[in-house]
């Protein structure tokens, strides 16, 4: 089973799908209305038993996705900037919506 199939089934069978869904490997960023977050999280975890999603909600209107910090502004606008984790070294969304980040764990 491909991850894309699971995502499509989850979005198509939920009451009102996310306004935004972007995935890169095992991280996804999702834009949902706040009151739908828990229901959508439970729904997507019920679609396929071998796949487990975990969730991280935005903090102070911001969330990191890949190397980007996404901040929700007024009037539904988003701003982005390069994000580095606090441990990083040089060597090495809508006003009533909330952005969540899902991490996908596939059980074998």
Bridge partners (DSSP) of residue 78 are 72
Residue 38 has pLDDT above 60, yes or no: yes
**Domain with 28 in it:** 3-106
Q: Residue 92 in 3-state DSSP?
A: coil
pLDDT digits (tens, 9 = 90+) for 51-86: 888 888 888 889 888 888 999 888 878 888 998 877
Q: How many domains does the chain have?
A: 1
20-31 mean pLDDT: 84
Vertex 35: Cα angle to 2 and 83 (nearest 5): 65
pLDDT at 103: 59
């Amino acid at each position: 089973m491909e991850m894309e199939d699971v995502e499509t089934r989850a979005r198509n069978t939920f009451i009102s799908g996310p306004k935004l869904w972007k995935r890169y490997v095992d991280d996804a960023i999702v834009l949902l209305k706040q009151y739908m977050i828990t229901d959508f999280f439970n729904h997507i975890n019920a679609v396929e038993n071998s796949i487990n999603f975990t969730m991280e909600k935005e903090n102070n209107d911001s969330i990191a996705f890949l190397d980007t910090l996404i901040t929700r502004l007024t009037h539904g606008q988003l701003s982005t900037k390069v994000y580095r984790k606090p441990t990083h070294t040089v060597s090495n969304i809508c006003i009533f919506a909330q952005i969540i980040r899902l991490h996908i764990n596939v059980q074998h």
